[in-house]
Amino acid sequence: MARLVTLYSLQWGDLSLEEICIKAKEFGYDGLELGLPDHLDVRQTDPAYYKGIKDLLERYGMQLRTISTHLIGQAVCDRIDERHEGILPTHIWGDGDPEGVRQRAAEELILTAKAAKALGVKTVVGFTGSSIWHLLYAFPPFPESTIEEGYKDFARRFTPILDEYEKLGVRFALEVHPTEIAFDTISARRALEAVDNHPAFGFNYDPSHLGYQGVDYVDFIYQFPDRIFHVHMKDVYWSDTPKQVGVFGGHVPFGDPRRFWNFRSVGRGKINFEEIIRALNTIGYEGPLSIEWEDSAMDREQGARESCEFTKRIDFKTSAHAFDAFFAKS
């Protein structure tokens, strides 16, 4: 086995952590990626709380390399509205005042780094939100300075967070994703530059969010070899023929067959995972391959089980020598 295969717990938020451990072990996983706020309360300061989580994971043979805070991170840079009340804990939402929500979310991200340290975890995966995502389609026209200000806003809000992460020996991995400050290769480069290539800032690589956009998702790995801090294994299907709903989603829900694209269980979409594994081997990535399972048309347990099996089958260690290294007889 080349790398750990882990299961992201956020899609299993209706179950207790112990129930997820039982299922993950049954499905063949090596560990979990714990998702906030369902399976970890980072406001806890008692060491016994974190020891209890570690003991529970150990009891079921589950390793922990990553915790994730997508929902909280989304609120740090976003234009806050009623949508956020539906995804945020009440102590973050508060009275709903946008700036207050952003500040409380930022404070929670720092608490998350402290919780990671208490758990012996060195990588936190999450979102950043974006004050400029709504300007994706440039009409009516706006000046480039508007976009530049969006990246400056991201830097102002996230640099203090990243400084705290660095002090704690923890890294923040942004999942490059639509609605975030980085959603393709160019915007990811710009985000890195905005925080002056901060050592605590990198990416959670998820090819599913790049493929349907037409972004070269394998090249992304080669573009950021020292910034791939974590990897999500998630597949996506996009149509070879025109559909009623285009790449922007058409205001119809995930899973609707009229859409141009939909997330699929690993191995059932169009992502070329063979090339991804080879690229990860080339850059020396040794972290986990985490299954973020999101196939609206498939039974969750079957999908989680087969995704684990597929990932373990396709993953392989890199060679320690060239294939022709032993041809010479000298």
Mean pLDDT per block of 10 residues along the chain (330 residues) reads 91 96 98 95 97 98 98 98 96 98 98 98 98 95 96 98 98 98 98 98 98 98 98 97 93 94 97 98 98 95 98 91 65
Give the CA dihedral 177, 156, 124, 253, nearest 10 degrees. Answer: -30
What predicted TM-score, i.e. pTM, was given to this entire model?
Answer: 0.96
Q: Which of 40, 2, 3, 1 has the alpha carbon at shortest distance from 20?
A: 40
In the block, which residue shows the tokens 């974590």? Answer: 230
Q: What is the pLDDT of residue 57?
A: 98
Q: Quick one: tokens of 254? A: 């995930």
Backbone CA torsion sign across 191, 193, 196, 198: positive
CA distance linking residue 318 with residue 10, whole number of Å:
31
**Phi/psi of residue 191, each to 5°?**
-65, -40
Query: How high is the pLDDT of residue 98?
Result: 98
Q: What is the pLDDT of residue 318?
A: 86
